[in-house]
Amino acid sequence: MTSGSFPVRTFRLNLYPRSFLQLILLGNVLVALPLLAVIGYASLKLDDLARRSGEAMRQASQAASLGRSLPEDLERMERSLRQYEVLRDPSLLDDYAAARRDWRKDSAAFAAIPLTAPLAGRLDALRQGEEAAYARLGKRAAGLAALKTAVIQLKQGVHPLLAQASRLADAEDEAFRAQTESLRRHMQVAEALAVAAAGFLLWWGRRLTVRLWSRFERAVLALGEGRLDRRIRLKGPEDLQRVGRRLEWLRRRLKALEEQRTLVLRHVSHELKTPLAAMREGTALLTEGAAGALTAPQAKIVDIMHGNVLRQQTLIEGLLKLQQAGFAGERFEPQPVRLDALVEQVLATHQLVARNKHLHLSASLAPLEVAGGRDELTTIVDNLVANAIKFTPDDGHIAVSVSGHDGQAALDVVDDGPGIPAADRDRIFEPFYRGQATRGEAGVGLGLAISHQFARAHRGDLTLLEAPAGAHFRLTLPLLRAAP
């Protein structure tokens, strides 16, 4: 580190909660939040509506009660004046004054009601006419006729006001009904929006959870399938990230062990090939009589030794090719390969063997192009065709086809052999595994394992499909394009 420099640390912002449980709880809260908001909104609106409804009912009841009292007060006032006009008893004027006070009190209360506030001006104008006539009445009642006329006019003017007050109450009731209906519509819209928001949050939370767990599942599957080249880093809550770090440690450990195993296998195979080559040359010289003629028993022993040497050499070469297949994705440079032309070349190399067994080879090859290593693809096709020829009885039939669909090129090899027993299907691609149908045939059980590894290295797959008779193998590879 140079003078004056400081280490730089990078920080990553983690927007996830600390644990997966907290993530689930947060998701539940977010889903419930729109519904709780609608419930709160409905509660506030209903409380406000109930308050306004109670206030409107109180005002309407008060206006109705005063609407009955005002005409009664005016009747008392008019009756007192008529009695005074006949009897001239001063006490009747006192009765008028008492009724007048009740009228003024009730009319003031009527005008103070918010519902009837628009009528206050007209009611005040009527009241001023009576007050002016009452002021001119004097002690001698000189203005009795004018006051009587004013009271009659007051009675005539009050009835239209009461009718107008009734119409105002009806209008307030209609407005309340309209507000209730508007609130109902708003609540329906709010409920729909809340359900939609909750559904979206539920879908988003489920999608996020599935995405987090799918990353974990892919990482575990990659370890199980031996794909150790890609670094494992899981995003999400801290506990899931901690699991990702443990898986990354396991990946590095497995990769180191695999590299050690490969190195040992390469060294052992190399060390074994040299003495085996010498033994093969020696048995060949003995067979040719370079050390003198051999007796029949000696020749038989030499043949057995020569066959075992060749078998050991085949096994070692197969091990080396299997090791290469494990790292095929790093070795070859993808290049365009005509799959149909490659299959034709492989079939041509097996024509002689197929003719000796009187086998009928049928080929339907669509002109398709894939990207990959030519040698690796040739190994796959050669192993499939060789196995089909080996296990198909004389006069049998082998069908080979190349087709393309859904962006994939498919090579199908179907034979008339004994097929693969159900007990062997799950292990047919394991190294050195020889099923019941292959135990009487020569081989070491590496061909399908190597082909399967090469197929995976090309981002494809090699599978065994159900067939009514014989075996049906399918190789799928990403399609580059349809050849012209």
Residues 299 and 342 in one domain: no
Note whether residue 305 is domain-resident.
Answer: yes
> Domain containing 396 — which CATH number?
3.30.565.10
Residue 193 lies in a domain: yes
Q: What is the pLDDT of residue 4?
A: 44
**Residue 479 pLDDT:** 85
359 and 283 within one domain: no
- Average pLDDT per run of 10 along the chain, which is 484 residues long? 42 60 75 80 79 81 83 86 83 86 86 82 80 71 76 83 82 81 82 82 80 80 75 79 83 78 62 66 70 72 70 60 53 78 88 85 87 83 87 87 87 85 74 57 66 81 82 87 56
We report the CATH number of the domain holding residue 148 as: 1.20.120.1730
What pLDDT, on a 0 to 100 scale, did the predictor assign at position 7?
A: 44
**Distance in angstroms (rounded) separating the CA atoms of residues 81 and 85:** 6
Q: Looking at the structure, do residues 315 and 394 belong to the same domain, yes or no?
A: no
Please check whether residue 173 lies inside any domain of the structure. yes
Domain with 297 in it: what CATH number?
1.10.287.130
Please say which residue of 184, 199, 214 terminates a domain. Answer: 199
Residues 257 and 352 in one domain: no
Whether residues 290 and 378 share a domain: the answer is no
Q: Are 133 and 36 within one domain?
A: yes
Which structural domain, as residue segments, surrounds residue 469? 332-482
Task: For residues 351 and 459, state if they share a domain.
Answer: yes
Domain identity same for 366 and 478: yes
Predicted pLDDT at 137: 72
Answer yes or no: do 64 and 161 share one domain: yes
**CB within 8 A of 45, min separation 6: which ones?**
183, 186, 187
Q: What is the pLDDT of residue 2?
A: 44
Q: Is residue 6 part of a domain?
A: no
**233 falls within a domain:** no
Structural domain count, the chain? 3
410 and 447 fall within a common domain: yes
- 11 falls within a domain: no
Tell me which of 274, 304, 326 is where a domain ends.
326
Q: For residues 276 and 76, what is the distance between their CA atoms, to the nearest angstrom?
A: 140
In a domain, 94, yes or no: yes
Residue 212 lies in a domain: no
Same domain for 192 and 49, yes or no, is yes
Residues 32 and 180 in one domain: yes
Domain boundary among 281, 299, 326: 326
CB 472 within 8 A of CB 413: yes
